[in-house]
Structure 1
């Protein structure tokens, strides 16, 4: 084997462990992203305000793009990306839908639930970035501005809904 071949085939100790942790963490974030995207899409159909429908649809699309990019990160790390959310997402959707139906301010109930779930997603992302090795966290770090933008949008809507 020539020198160049030896350089490219040599893996640092622990590379497989790092790659495995990256794939696992990204797949967990993908699942959460798919679940939240599903909730946004459902909410966009259920709210009555047309402007809010449009905003929620845009946020769902931004999350879908984020999920696709995370799936690509998993593929680059040599893994099989998650393609589906959790079974609990459908349950969460039904629960929020039920709460919104009995609420006097249905749209506000959806906004509040989305803001809560989105905050949890952002915290999970930030936790992953802080605890993954630097080379693994780079892909996630690129996604943070998009997720923080969604976070600001939802919390602005949530604050306005409660005033």
Structure 2
């Protein structure tokens, strides 16, 4: 009897766990964007990073609302790894300038997008809809960071 309950629990919690992981990593990336936007020197870049931070906030909020609508408590903060990465990024950027932020954000955004898209493949259809609504927004963020990263190399 306990085995059947555990299997049912695992099936119903797996999508929420994945969404919660996406929320936590989204919060990490949002906070990384915020830290970068506060520290970069170029005003145009600062504006783009603030806009990307706001777009990522919308993605995270939408997923949090989905988890809450299902009667669960969504994460409200990122991970320890994300905090450490922000601290290290700030230290490196003070020595390397705006290009360091762009490089770190591009890598982080690409990783988040891969995690997001692989999550779509493992989601049940009802949970997948929330993620699919945000997919275009994440592509735009990744495209922004790829463009900025490419312009830094030129």
TM-score for both structures, normalised by structure 1: 0.86
Shift of 1:69: 0.3
1:20 aligns with one of 4, 10, 13: 13
Q: Which runs of 4+ in 1 moved over 3 A?
A: 14-19
* Aligned counterparts of 2:12 and 2:53: Cα–Cα separation in 1: 29
| Deviation digits for residues 112-138 of structure 1 (CA, Å, limit 9, x no counterpart) | 000000011000100100111222211
Gaps of 5+ in 1: 1-13
Q: Which runs of 5+ in 2 are unaligned?
A: 1-6
What corresponds to 1:6 in structure 2? none
Structure having the larger proportion of residues in helix: 2
Contact 1:31–1:85 (CA under 8 A) maintained in structure 2: yes
1:81 to 69, 74, 83: 74
Structure 1 residue 87: Cα displacement: 1.7
Tell me if structure 2 keeps the 8 A contact 1:18–1:133. Answer: no
Which structure: larger Rg?
1
Following superposition, the deviation at residue 22 of structure 1 comes to: 1.6
Which of 144, 156, 159 is the aligned partner of 2:150?
Answer: 159
Residue number in structure 1 paired with 2:56: 63
State the match for 2:24 in structure 1. Answer: 31
- Corresponding position of 1:99: 92
* Bigger Cα displacement from structure 2, 82-91 vs 112-121: 82-91
Q: Out of 53-62 and 75-84, give the one that drifted further.
A: 75-84
Q: Quick one: distance in 1 between partners of 2:98 and 2:50?
A: 14
Does the CA-based 8 Å contact 1:40-1:57 persist in structure 2? yes
Correspondent of 2:108 among 95, 117, 122 = 117
Maintained 8 Å contact 1:96/1:110: yes
Q: Distance in 1 between matches of 2:10 and 2:88?
A: 38
